[in-house]
Copies of this chain bind each other. A is one copy, B any other.
């Protein structure tokens, strides 16, 4: 089955809105085994849209539209597409009542314009919108179909999930099951290792890359739920075999969610001590609903005196080793764990740039610490592109990864350990410092 995605709206052509709908629908259609051949954005012009639809209809089986279902004169997708599919629209009293109720509930009055939204296909059928006033529409002629959804992303996504996707599955007489693997590591490396698994008809597998990690979405189609699930699971095993424990979780929104869940399971708490990330790690942890069960104290110690006052970093250590150094990262983590009474504490001190840095510590140099029990583990990160936002994002990601591994009882190989009891021991701190400066 082939499809095209059409976004309708002059505001898109002016660049006023980023088109996230097209990406969402591309992924969803790919997961259904439907090949998207073209995506187009067309302005709010009846004639241009009609010309386009008459051509596009011949090129593929299904046209998927978003936008242009509103009440204003500019909104003409439904009328135009109806014409192209030999259909007409009729007033639907049930939809009209829903619109009137919605306006009443929000303390407003309908205008004559709003009646437009209650017009539905005569030969085709309407699609219920549970999250807004504009119903969707389905048109069909000679085996060519068109589906129309609203342009507002959350309404469109809900209509897709609740009605359109089930409808397309029913027509193919099948169900869908997905697993999303979250994988730590660099994009090109991960993609290279799994590339031969990414070109499969069913299950499909697609990779989406983010800072310091990738998402691999596996989707199977089958006649029953349970066989789709089995196919998905079997295909996922192939990824696990190749990627090992770089796959850190399934079906989560990010590393912070897995970390919060893992800490909760193990009955552990975490604290943060941040310099160059400036609150980003705490912010990511508290993105997770329920984070308060494991996280209570975050220290943003941007100044040296904050590091000393809030989490007991020794100013002499800063003077001797530099504020961006392994001994300072170690003292920050130990001090934060102590001040918060937390089981684990992560720390970050680094140079995010764009200014500053020297030959020994160029912009992009970051030290991370993680205190856990009687030990603190330190690692060094270097981000070669001197991009402030990137350095900060990579540092926060690395800190969350380090915390997760320790919460799982694994000590990453690229860390150096220092005993908590040695936190003010000059010889031990100097040894720690020089390990990294040599490296």
Contact = CB atoms under 8 A, between A and B. Distances in A.
A113 B205 CA distance: 28
Contacts of A20: 18
Interface stretch (A69-77, A135-143, A272-280, A324-332): A272-280
Contacts of A39: 12-13, 40-41
Contacts of A42: 38
A282 interface: yes
Interface centre among A12, A278, A298 (most CB of B within 10 A): A278
Given A18-B20, A19-B22, A300-B299, A355 B289 contact: yes
Nearest to A22: B19
Interface in A246-282: 272, 274, 276-282
Contact of A26 (B15, B300, B302): B15
Contacts of A354: 289
Interface residues of A, number: 68
Interface string A44-76: 000010001000000000000000000000000
11 contacts: A13-B26, A15-B22, A15-B25, A16-B208, A22-B41, A37-B43, A278-B285, A279-B282, A295-B302, A296-B303, A310-B310
B310 A291 contact: no
A204 to B, nearest CB: 9
7 A-B pairs with the lowest CB-CB distances in the bound complex, closest first: A278-B286, A298-B300, A15-B26, A279-B279, A279-B282, A296-B303, A15-B27
A311 B302 CA distance: 17
A173 interface: no
Contact of A291 (B274, B302, B306): B302
Contact of A15 (B24, B290, B300, B388): B24
A428 B281 CA distance: 37
A366 interface: no
A12 B25 CA distance: 11
Contacts of A24: 15
A292 B351 CA distance: 12
Contact of A283 (B30, B280, B296, B299): B280
B26 A14 contact: yes
A3 to B, nearest CB: 10
A36 interface: yes
A37 B22 contact: no
A206 interface: yes
A422 interface: no
A302 B278 CA distance: 16
A131 to B, nearest CB: 11
A160 to B, nearest CB: 13
A367 interface: no
A298 B272 contact: no
Nearest to A341: B305
A130 interface: no
Given A25-B15, A277-B283, A297 B296 contact: no
Interface in A292-324: 292, 295-303, 305-306, 309-310
B302 A292 contact: yes
A430 interface: no
Nearest to A283: B279
A254 to B, nearest CB: 12
Given A13-B26, A300-B297, A389-B287, A38 B36 contact: no
A389 B286 CA distance: 10
Contacts of A340: 306
A25 B15 CA distance: 8
Contacts of A18: 18, 20, 23
A286 B206 CA distance: 35
A299 B277 CA distance: 14
A40 B37 contact: no
A14 B27 contact: yes
